[in-house]
Amino acid sequence: MNTITLSATEPVAREKTITRSATASLPVYVYAVVFSSFCISVGLIWDISWHLSIGRDGLFSPPHLMTYIGAITSGLFSGYYVLRLTFAGSAAERGESIKFWKVFYGSLGALFCIWGAFTMITSAPFDDWWHNTFGLDVAILSPPHTVLLLGMITIQFGAMVSVMALQNRQAVGGNYSETALAWCFKLSSGFLLVMLFTIASEYLTRHAMHRTSFYQVAGGLFPLFLVAVSKASPGKWGATGMALVYMVLMAAMVWILPVFHAEPKLGPVFNHITHYQAFHFPLLLVFPALAIDWLNHRLQSTNIVLKALAIGAAFVVVFVAVQWPFGDFLTTEIAKSWFFGTTSWYFGSDPNYEFRYAFRPDNIQTGMILVKGLGIAFIWASVSSLLGLTWGRWMKAVKR
């Protein structure tokens, strides 16, 4: 009798084991919005390189089309996901979503992506009208560009939230592929970091690496997102993965774009070029990101304010320790190569400018000016870290 009982329960136990070990595929729209985030990052950097190398662009220039592909892909796949869930979804699926406008069901990330897509598409004719009315606009934060960037960031944040919701559900009984989730989270957060750097890039050039304003801007911006991702990540190295994706994509664009032919189509031309001019080489954010991840897990039971102060101090100390000497290195003969992109120069600038490969005297700060400036950078980094810890705690709770 005992033998019969054991043999009867063995298939059942085996079946349960197989069921628990089976993994579900991520929703297709999640892969689509991560791909959209990638297209937006590449298209944005390509567009800046286009302006540095060619000048005026049209509404349907290749870089613009790249970003439009990102917007359309995000809008279509997220919209289809919402409509399918609303009109053909199961009760269980709707229970894992949010209801909006008293009719539709969808994830929070999908809603961000839909609104971001609408914003980006709206900004396109606005940007074209702006150029036709006011002429060439090379400022990153002009009115139409601001609308465009708002849409881009919304899509990229939506992609990260979409992955994060599945990741958080995984922790309470989900059965998605952990490898797929981990990679999608790293990629979506890294692409968002590319966008953030690009927005602030006018203050983060290699010629400003010996000014305290460089570290103040970095301290106010990057810890907010690096700390939030580190806090929300189920693994120990979320911020590090985010920074690595940022560095790889930025460096790849520096190496790939100059391979292709480009010549100025707008005067005056002082620097006669024949190939694309690269955008900035990535900042060494992976090192402060390592410090953030280590401290975030080392100080888990520490008061949040003290933790923010520790992370803010670590960010400034580590970032200055690596980026300041790296700025010196970028002015040396060794760094004058395609690898670091330092030979790239805007076609409208004098190629013989005396400070092309050097720091202007007013871009070098020392003594008490440096100490005071880095003190301000520490304050900004600490406040940014505090907000990041709070935001990361919210992100860790998102499950829909």
For residue range 370-398, list pLDDT tens digits in order: 999 999 999 999 999 999 999 988 888 77
Pairwise pLDDT comparison (248 vs 91), residue with the higher score: 248
What's the whole-number mean pLDDT along residues 92-96? 74
Query: Is 352 part of any domain?
Result: yes
pLDDT at res. 55: 80
Same domain, 303 and 327: yes
Same domain, 332 and 195: no
Query: Is 1 part of any domain?
Result: no
Query: Is 235 part of any domain?
Result: yes
Query: Is 227 part of any domain?
Result: yes
Instruction: State the total domains in the chain.
Output: 2
Report which listed range, 150-154, 185-189, 324-328, is most confident.
324-328
Query: Is 360 part of any domain?
Result: yes
Same domain, 374 and 293: yes
Q: What is the dihedral of CA 170, 175, 179, 181, to 10 degrees?
A: -50
pLDDT at res. 255: 96
Q: How many CB atoms lie within 10 A of CB 336?
A: 14
Same domain, 251 and 372: yes
Of the pLDDT bands very low, low, confident and very high (cuts 50, 70, 90), residue 211 is very high
Pairwise pLDDT comparison (239 vs 75), residue with the higher score: 239
Instruction: Give the Å distances, CA to CA, from 225 to 32, 168, 192, 233.
Output: 23, 18, 9, 12
Instruction: Give the Å distances, CA to CA, from 88 to 80, 81, 104.
Output: 11, 10, 11
Same domain, 107 and 227: no
Domain C-terminal end among 168, 199, 230: 199
Domain C-terminal end among 161, 181, 199: 199
Query: Is 37 part of any domain?
Result: yes
HSE of 54, CA atoms in CB hemisphere, 13 A: 17
Q: Which of 80-89, 95-104, 107-116 has the lowest mean pLDDT?
A: 95-104
State yes or no: pLDDT of 88 exceeds 70: yes
Of the pLDDT bands very low, low, confident and very high (cuts 50, 70, 90), residue 41 is very high
Q: What is the dihedral of CA 373, 378, 383, 384, to 10 degrees?
A: 90
What's the whole-number mean pLDDT along residues 239-261? 96
pLDDT-above-70 percentage for the chain = 88
Q: Which of 113-122, 139-148, 184-193, 306-315 has the lowest mean pLDDT?
A: 139-148
What's the whole-number mean pLDDT along residues 358-376? 93
The enclosing domain of 357 has a CATH number of: 1.20.1450
Q: Which of 5-9, 284-288, 344-348 has the lowest mean pLDDT?
A: 5-9
Task: Locate all alpha helices (DSSP H) within the chain, ordered by sequence.
Answer: 2-21, 28-53, 62-88, 91-95, 108-134, 143-170, 178-199, 212-232, 238-256, 286-298, 304-329, 367-397
Of the pLDDT bands very low, low, confident and very high (cuts 50, 70, 90), residue 29 is confident
Average pLDDT, the chain: 85
**Token representation of residue 329:** 């290195």
Q: Which of 144-148, 274-278, 281-285 has the lowest mean pLDDT?
A: 144-148
pLDDT at res. 11: 44
State yes or no: pLDDT of 138 exceeds 60: no
Q: What angle do CA 204, 199, 334 make, to 5 degrees?
A: 35
State yes or no: pLDDT of 329 exceeds 70: yes
Query: Is 285 part of any domain?
Result: yes
3-state SS, one letter per residue, for 65-105: HHHHHHHHHHHHHHHHHHHHHHHHCCHHHHHCCEEECCCEE
pLDDT at res. 160: 85
Domain encompassing residue 353: 203-400
Same domain, 105 and 242: no
Q: How many CB atoms lie within 10 A of CB 296?
A: 27
pLDDT at res. 181: 85
Same domain, 212 and 194: no
Same domain, 159 and 125: yes
What's the whole-number mean pLDDT along residues 97-111? 79
What's the whole-number mean pLDDT along residues 28-33? 88
Query: Is 35 part of any domain?
Result: yes
Same domain, 259 and 297: yes
Same domain, 161 and 284: no
State yes or no: pLDDT of 7 exceeds 50: no
Residue-wise pLDDT tens digits, 160-170: 888 888 888 77
Domain C-terminal end among 137, 172, 199: 199
pLDDT at res. 131: 65
State yes or no: pLDDT of 312 exceeds 50: yes
Pairwise pLDDT comparison (314 vs 128), residue with the higher score: 314
Same domain, 234 and 190: no
Pairwise pLDDT comparison (94 vs 355), residue with the higher score: 355
Same domain, 278 and 233: yes
Q: How many CB atoms lie within 10 A of CB 164?
A: 27
What's the whole-number mean pLDDT along residues 205-209? 94
Q: Which of 60-64, 170-174, 250-254 has the lowest mean pLDDT?
A: 170-174
Residue 337, H or E segment: none
State yes or no: pLDDT of 15 exceeds 70: no
